[in-house]
Amino acid sequence: MNKSPAWTRKEGKNPKGGLNAKGRASYKGGTLKAPVKSGDNPRRASFLARMGGMPGPERKPNGEPTRLLLSLQAWGASSKSDAKAKAAAISKRNKGKK
């Protein structure tokens, strides 16, 4: 029986948000890198901007965080609005470095 890739199943997901090493390794669309938790990395700015604009709630009806919020927290943001603000600030600082 063919199993789906680990990144689509629980065993490939990090309980704190995002994917674990096994999940990143099982993704066949390219090489996925680990989250950048701090700093002015352009990858971090791009991720925070993209995920800050995602539709859907940050919390489930029972108060637990959704996978979206967990992923944002793994990249160093506390909410979608915080992610947008951090992305803009990182991009602004990176433009000033050139």
**Contact present, 16 and 70 (Cβ < 8 Å):** yes
Scanning the structure block, which residue is given the tokens 């992923």?
A: 71
Whole-number mean pLDDT of the chain? Answer: 91
**Taking the CA atoms of the chain, what radius of gyration do you get in angstroms?**
15
Instruction: Supply the angle between the helices 67-74 and 42-52 in degrees, to the nearest 10.
Output: 160
Report the length, in residues, of the chain: 98
pLDDT at 28: 87
Q: Output the pLDDT for position 2.
A: 67
pLDDT digits (tens, 9 = 90+) for 55-71: 999 999 999 999 999 99
Would you say residue 13 has pLDDT above 80?
yes
> 96: buried, middle or exposed (CB in 10 Å: 19+, 13-18, 0-12)?
exposed
